[in-house]
Structure 1
């Protein structure tokens, strides 16, 4: 339970307490970000210390693991910031940014593993054997694990997909229509010396695009991956095809634009892959 709580504390501090402004200027907000991790992990460790480890000493089971998590997290974030600074902000570099994001989260996960092993006496070998035995988890552990998977399926995966796709180019905005205006001016004096009519005609063509509601698109992505997660958990794979079909029908007119179609396909396939993978993990762990 403690291990799951520490992972949940990390996710809350990293993806809910950290605002978009802090992400954009992370180097100047690093102290605030580390403070969030200090707060969340401190609350978890204090609760478990008071109920389970009070007789073992406050330094070995509270202060030392908390300082270890905060210090390691600080150096991991500084390293990530330095590496991202050398990458140009372009769509061609998005894969590198995704790689840095995944490695960053894996390093934090390893840090929590080390804290559990070095300070808190968590027996991971026993946990692994329990997992292989096929015995069911307790209700509390099942709820914690489910919450963690839901966070990965929504906020974490949404952040990863946003990095992978990059910013939405103007030409990929919602097409609303084309309008043509003509302005024609007759010059009557021209007919005094010449035969025929002289006219000046101007034609203006306008292509109208509407901006996407980013919050609405974000919510659609969350619901999509949660539906895929639930359908995978119950092995209802054919129903996942209806989700893809519904998205395609809603954007049918925009599919004529090859760039937009590729953008849409990349986002949809990534979202489906994450949802199905997490659904399989959740099913294998809880059933």
Structure 2
């Protein structure tokens, strides 16, 4: 369970507490990477520290420092690679590799420092013991992944699929934002339906989305982008459902 809490902390720090200013700043200097790592450290320490025994704090502190140092190194290498070629066709793969390395770092750090959840003495664990279960944490992780991380990944794929230059048109920007929200709602609804075992209803969600874009689908380029985005969103949501079901069976 402690691994799940650390992963939730990582998702929160990497996607929900990382501003656009920090994302752009990391390409300009080490200072912004340091700020990003300090945010990671704070979120990980606060979230994880609230559910473990006070006797574990020293090991947790060393674990968070180690994980954040490695996180900074990984981000520095990634930024150097992308700085050379901002339009690299490997951006989606780098995104996945970057996240995979962060996850592996967290799992190794948790194992090396032998972090364990104290089910009786943790602050939140003692207050919300009925809610802080492995199954609930997995569902929370799945919801968080289907929100911002999936949106970033779809955007990275689109940066490769679409080679058209952005003209900064406000109408186009507004349409992109609306499309992003549609994708988020689509993934969360599919996740909810999957957890309820209502897989047949997923087709209705995709059909409703296609109906709203019916006229635009006559444009071949838009249709291709639409299909790529829809398939990626659906894949992420289904993988999130599979993850939840796997941990449910494992328990």
The alignment's TM-score, normalised by the length of structure 1, stands at 0.72
Change in CA separation of 1:164 and 1:226 when aligned onto 2, cut-off 3 Å: same
Whether the aligned pair in 1 keeps the contact of 2:135 and 2:244 (CA below 8 Å) is: no
Whether the aligned pair in 2 keeps the contact of 1:172 and 1:260 (CA below 8 Å) is: no
TM-superposed CA distance for 1:160, in Å, is: 0.3
Structure 1: gaps spanning 5 or more residues:
124-137, 174-208
Instruction: Note the alpha carbon deviations across 1:18-42, whole angstroms, 9 max, x for none.
Output: 0112212323321211110111122
- Residue 80 of structure 1 corresponds to 78
Whether the aligned pair in 2 keeps the contact of 1:153 and 1:278 (CA below 8 Å) is: yes
SS of structure 1 residue aligned to 2:215: helix
TM-superposed CA distance for 1:269, in Å, is: 0.9
Which protein is richer in helix relative to its size?
A: 2
Question: Structure 1: which 4+ aligned runs deviate by more than 4 Å?
Answer: 167-173
TM-superposed CA distance for 1:232, in Å, is: 2.0
Structure 1 CA distance for aligned equivalents of residues 63 and 165 of structure 2: 50
SS of structure 2 residue aligned to 1:166: helix
- Residue 193 of structure 2 corresponds to 231
- Residue 68 of structure 1 corresponds to 66
Change in CA separation of 1:148 and 1:163 when aligned onto 2, cut-off 3 Å: same
Whether the aligned pair in 2 keeps the contact of 1:45 and 1:66 (CA below 8 Å) is: no
Change in CA separation of 1:62 and 1:286 when aligned onto 2, cut-off 3 Å: closer
- Residue 126 of structure 2 corresponds to none
Change in CA separation of 1:229 and 1:48 when aligned onto 2, cut-off 3 Å: closer
- Residue 141 of structure 2 corresponds to 148
The alignment's TM-score, normalised by the length of structure 2, stands at 0.81
Whether the aligned pair in 1 keeps the contact of 2:139 and 2:244 (CA below 8 Å) is: yes
- Residue 37 of structure 1 corresponds to 40
Q: Do residues 252 (structure 1) and 214 (structure 2) align?
A: yes
Which protein is richer in strand relative to its size?
A: 1
- Residue 157 of structure 2 corresponds to 164
Give the number of aligned pairs.
Answer: 230
Whether the aligned pair in 2 keeps the contact of 1:6 and 1:112 (CA below 8 Å) is: yes
Q: Which has the greater radius of gyration?
A: 1
Whether the aligned pair in 1 keeps the contact of 2:5 and 2:48 (CA below 8 Å) is: no
- Residue 180 of structure 1 corresponds to none
Whether the aligned pair in 2 keeps the contact of 1:165 and 1:263 (CA below 8 Å) is: yes
Q: Do residues 116 (structure 1) and 110 (structure 2) align?
A: yes
Structure 1 CA distance for aligned equivalents of residues 245 and 222 of structure 2: 34
Q: Do residues 3 (structure 1) and 6 (structure 2) align?
A: no
Change in CA separation of 1:112 and 1:21 when aligned onto 2, cut-off 3 Å: same
TM-superposed CA distance for 1:78, in Å, is: 0.5
Whether the aligned pair in 2 keeps the contact of 1:232 and 1:279 (CA below 8 Å) is: yes
Aligned-residue RMSD, C-alpha: 2.8
